Structures are given as structure tokens and as C-alpha cells.
Structure 1
């Protein structure tokens, strides 16, 4: 429940923490760019699944669940989204990769037409076109960003959209931790298979970065869940996209990834398009209360 009357509610504070934790996890992925992306997925999902299992035990919630097919599909699409997002993080600037992930709410809403039988107003399509115009601008002006990785980032966002519509199909039927656990478990299994064929031995601080990746990802999920239980997406949307500020600053300070004014303009177009769609109507905000927020994080 939202804390009405307070400028910074508990829900907003939780979303700030969630955004920060997920961003730290993204930075750690770039720190291990010399390792295969699926190796990072393995550590991320294995550590997070153990933490999630502990949470399930404490909550006395079902580990197996009842919607087995949908849980499996959610885990598969979530794992694909996570893997492709990690690849983009490792090969293009941090802020650009994060911006591409921000278009996932568009796919969530569009796919809801097919999966959930929902409808979109004409105004929403205009806002979504604005966001994609930003993506095109980024690709055209930033020569560090190859078209392949732009397409891969968009594909990651698409898979996130599928995953979160599947989550909505299970709304009220499965415990949140049950859904998250199946995703992490499938990611861990896929990662295990992948490292049997391609393994690069982590050295030195790599182990610390990989441990942090799993821990911070799970912390981000915990606070994200708390925020969504307390606030509607319209109340925390600006907080969600504040992660772009982190990405621009840290990308420059840590990885030496400067951004041109036109690239920044493209990023702002993406964020403006998605935010405008969120605030366009209360009806839309209610319909995508979980999807608009969570799709930006690949968890």
C-alpha cells in the first residue's frame, strides 16, 4: 500500500534501492566481460536461486508451483533475455545497453494484445514510435554500437516482454518467489550446460564480481517486489529510469565511455517515449502495473 501524504514513500525508497542494486549487477557484468556471457549467467542464476530457495522456505511457499508449463516458458524466455542482455552489456557502452533494455515495456504492452487479449490506444503507438526513434538515433550516431548488438539488445527486450506477460498470466496463482525461483533455476541449468562446452577460469577479483552479481541481482529483485506491492508503476516510473543517469556517469567514470549530445538525445527519446506511455492514462498504468517496471531488469 502506498504511503499517501509522504513525498518519499517506502515504495519509492524500495525502488531506488532496487534500481541501484540492479545497476551494480550490470556494472559487475561488464567487469567480467572477458568471461563468456553464459558463464556470468551461470553464477548469477545459481547464487540467486539458492538465495531464492531460502526465501521460499521462510515464506513456506510452494517450490514446484502449479502452472508448470507457463513457469517453464517464463524461465526459458527470461534466461534468453538475460543471456542476450549480458552479451550486449559486454560489447557496447553501459548506458546504451541499459537504454535498449528500456524498450522492453513496449514489447510487454504489444505482446499483451496477443497473449492477454488487451488493447492499446492510438496515443500509445505514437509514444512507442518515439522511443524506437531514439534507438535508431543512438545506432546512427554512436559508431561504437554495431547494428548486430542493437538488434540483440532489442531481441533481449522482446524476450523480457514475453516473460513478463507469462508472469501476468500466473498473477494470483503463483507466489512471486516461486516464479522467480523457476527462472533462476532454468538459468542455472542452462548455464551449467554452457560451461561444460565453454569455460574460462575466473581469476583474482573475478570471483568477487561473480558473487556480487548473484547477490545484488537478488537484492534488486527483493526490493523491486516490495516496491510493486506498495506503489503503482506511475508512482515509481521516474525512479526506474533514473538508472540511465547512473549508467551514463559510471560508464564514463569507470569504463571511459563518453557519450555525445546526439547519443544522449537518443537515450532521452527512449525514456521520454516510455514514460509518456506510462503517464498517458491511469487505465494503462493499472493494466501494466507490474510489467512496465519489472521488464527493465531481466529478472
Structure 2
């Protein structure tokens, strides 16, 4: 029995469920900090997550500076910009809507990879992307709580995540995962400290706990995510990320009273279907290309 539990816990699928839940919890606590300046949240998140990251690097006996410093810095910058903009959307539109818009990031990852990694995208994949974006438009038109301004901010955040993911893909063969994550936290500190000089709100009461949990759950999510992709095929675990939307809709309704209209819900479904289909098709396509290469 114990052996079965250990195997279940250590599986990549379980790790991805834990990663999805951890990131979702971090988002909930950001939502709870709606009256706190975003840069301040980024600052505390970077300190807490960075501390855990530093401990992990020391235990792994890896040099923190890494090898490809320019790419590490650019990954940190793009990730920080995406994080700041995503936090802004979390604070100003329904939790489920902000989460759904962020799910567009795999599309931007694939699009940027055309130029950055010289990868190709098929007509069918573009069709899936169109389905996903039509879902975003449906959300915008049938949910008055999602303004055009915050929709654009959310889409730019997803684009920034796509840029960051491409840098991670370029760095994965030369850098330890914790080093990549550490640079993300360092850039977050560098960017947030000057900004806090112009907008500072001293945390009070439970806000300290919320800030701590944002950092803890963010770091847990990064660790579980890394473990998931190292233990299972990418296509097998990537789709699990979209269970986060179920959490977002449920908690948004129960805690924040964020009820979804029929058409807004349909829009969310289109986003998930479009992105998930593109991921599955892209993975199947790569597998077939590898098989053809072997046959030849």
C-alpha cells in the first residue's frame, strides 16, 4: 500500500496536479491582495521564492550564476513583465477570466518559436489557435467585467510568458532549473524595488500571511512543474494545467461571487479546447516526424 502511494505521488501526472493547484493557490492569494500595489507583491514573492531557490541551489551544489547569462537575464525580464501584468489582471477581473486569458501563453510560445527556435506551425494548428482566440473574444463581448484594457493587459502577459518559455527551452540544456528560476526572482527584485519607492503600502494583519503564501505556493508550483515534465511526456501532463480553470471558476463563485454567463463560459471552453488541441496535435506531429526519421 505504501509503495503504491509513493509511486502515485512520484508520478509526473500527480506532480502536475500539485503544480496546477500550487499556482492556483498563489493566484488566489494575489486576488486577496487586491488593494496592495502589484510591484510590492512581486517584491515579496521574489524574496520568498528566491530564498527557497537559493537553498535548493546550495543543496544541489550548483553555481548560481549559470552559463548563458544574457539569456538568463532576458528570461528573467520577460517572465517578470508577464508576472506583473498577470497580477494586474488578477486584481481587476474575475479569477476565472484572468486564468483563461493566461492559458493563451502556449499559443504565443509556438508562434515565437517560429522565429526564435526555427520551428514550424501547420495550418491545423493555426485553426486551433483561432478557436482559442475566438473564445477570448466571446468572453470579452459577454462579460462586462472584462474591459478591453484589462483584456489587452492579460493577452500581453500571456505573450510575455510565451517569450519566457522560449528562453527556458533554449536554456534547458545548459542551465540547472533552479538557476533559471533564481534569475527570475532576482530580476523581479531589481524591477520591483525602484517601483516601490513611488507606491508603497505597509502590509497589515493577514496581508503578511497572504504575501508569504504567494511566494511559497509559487515556488512549490515551479518545483512540481519541473518534476512533472522530467517524469512524463510533455503531452501527458500539459493538459492537466487546464484543471486550474475548474478551481478558478469554483473559488471565484464561492469566495468572490463571480458567476459566469453561459456565453462567457462557452468562451472559456473554446480557449481550453483550442489550446489543448494544439498541444496534443503538436506533440503527435513531433512523434510522427521522429518515427519517419527512424524509418528513413
Return the alpha-carbon distance in structure 1 between the equivalents of residues 210 and 286 of structure 2: 36
Can you give the 5+ residue segments of structure 2 that lack an aligned partner in the other structure? 289-296
User: What residue is the counterpart of 1:293 in the other structure?
Assistant: none
Task: Count how many residue pairs are aligned between Structure 1 and Structure 2.
Answer: 283
Following TM superposition, by how much is the alpha carbon of 1:237 offset from its aligned partner in structure 2, in angstroms? 2.8
How do 1:29-178 residues align onto structure 2 when only pairs under 5 Å count? 29-178=30-179
How do 1:179-190 residues align onto structure 2 when only pairs under 5 Å count? 179-190=180-191
Can you give the 5+ residue segments of structure 1 that lack an aligned partner in the other structure? 288-299
8 Å CA contact retained: 2:242, 2:272: yes
8 Å CA contact retained: 2:13, 2:237: yes
8 Å CA contact retained: 1:43, 1:211: yes
- SS of 1:86 mapped into structure 2: helix
- SS of 2:197 mapped into structure 1: helix
8 Å CA contact retained: 1:234, 1:285: no
Following TM superposition, by how much is the alpha carbon of 1:236 offset from its aligned partner in structure 2, in angstroms? 1.4
* 1:274 corresponds to 2:275: yes
Return the alpha-carbon distance in structure 2 between the equivalents of residues 170 and 274 of structure 1: 24
User: What residue is the counterpart of 1:232 in the other structure?
Assistant: 233
TM-score (norm 1): 0.91
Following TM superposition, by how much is the alpha carbon of 1:284 offset from its aligned partner in structure 2, in angstroms? 4.9
Following TM superposition, by how much is the alpha carbon of 1:283 offset from its aligned partner in structure 2, in angstroms? 4.6
Structure 1 window deviating more from structure 2 (120-129 vs 185-194): it is 185-194
Following TM superposition, by how much is the alpha carbon of 1:171 offset from its aligned partner in structure 2, in angstroms? 2.2
User: What residue is the counterpart of 2:293 in the other structure?
Assistant: none
Task: List per-residue Cα deviations over 1:205-225 (Å, max 9, x = no partner).
Answer: 000000010011101111111
Return the alpha-carbon distance in structure 2 between the equivalents of residues 37 and 166 of structure 1: 24
8 Å CA contact retained: 1:62, 1:175: no
Summarize the Cα distance change of 1:61–1:263 in structure 2 as closer, same or farther, 3 Å threshold.
Answer: same
TM-score (norm 2): 0.92
User: What residue is the counterpart of 1:295 in the other structure?
Assistant: none
How do 1:194-213 residues align onto structure 2 when only pairs under 5 Å count? 194-213=195-214
Return the alpha-carbon distance in structure 2 between the equivalents of residues 43 and 9 of structure 1: 30
Return the alpha-carbon distance in structure 2 between the equivalents of residues 286 and 167 of structure 1: 22
Alignment RMSD, CA only?
1.7
User: What residue is the counterpart of 1:11 in the other structure?
Assistant: 12
Task: List per-residue Cα deviations over 1:142-181 (Å, max 9, x = no partner).
Answer: 0011000000000000011111101111121011110000
Following TM superposition, by how much is the alpha carbon of 1:66 offset from its aligned partner in structure 2, in angstroms? 1.2
Following TM superposition, by how much is the alpha carbon of 1:233 offset from its aligned partner in structure 2, in angstroms? 2.1
Return the alpha-carbon distance in structure 1 between the equivalents of residues 286 and 240 of structure 2: 15
Task: List per-residue Cα deviations over 1:180-232 (Å, max 9, x = no partner).
Answer: 00011110221112112210111110000000100111011111110010112
Task: List per-residue Cα deviations over 1:244-270 (Å, max 9, x = no partner).
Answer: 000000001111111011111000000
8 Å CA contact retained: 1:10, 1:227: yes
Return the alpha-carbon distance in structure 1 between the equivalents of residues 158 and 287 of structure 2: 21
Following TM superposition, by how much is the alpha carbon of 1:46 offset from its aligned partner in structure 2, in angstroms? 1.2
